[in-house]
Amino acid sequence: MIDPLYSLSGFFVGMLVGMTGVGGGSLMTPLLILLFGIHPATAVGTDLLYAAATKTGGSLVHGFARSIDWRVVRRLASGSIPATFATIVILSHFDLDSAAARSLITFVLSAALFVTAFVLVFGQPIVAFYRARMSELDPRRTATTTVVVGALLGVLVSISSVGAGAIGVIALIMLYPHLPMAKIVGSDIAHAVPLTLVAGLGHWMIGSVDWHIIASLLIGSLPGIFVGSYFAVRVPERALQLVLATTLFVVASRIAYDHATAASSFFTAFTRRAGP
* pLDDT tens-digit map of 38-88: 888 899 999 898 888 878 877 787 778 788 899 999 999 999 999 999 999
Look at the chain and count its residues: 276
Residue 242 CA to residue 123 CA, distance in Å, equals 11
Q: Kindly report, residue by residue over 222-250, the tens digit of the pLDDT.
A: 788 777 766 655 666 667 667 777 777 77
To the question of pTM greater than 0.85 for the whole model, the response is no
Residue 65 CA to residue 50 CA, distance in Å, equals 24
Taking CA atoms, 262 is separated from 30, 99, 100, in Å, by 17, 8, 10
Q: Kindly report, residue by residue over 169-216, the tens digit of the pLDDT.
A: 888 888 888 888 778 888 888 898 899 999 999 999 998 898 889 888
84-114: burial string, b at 16+ Cβ within 10 Å, e else: beebbeebeeeebeeeebbbbbbbbbbbbbb
Report the Cα–Cα distance between both ends of the chain, in Å, rounded. 53
Taking CA atoms, 204 is separated from 22, 167, 222, 257, in Å, by 24, 25, 22, 28
Residues with Cβ within 8 Å of residue 38, at least 6 apart in sequence: 32, 46, 210, 213
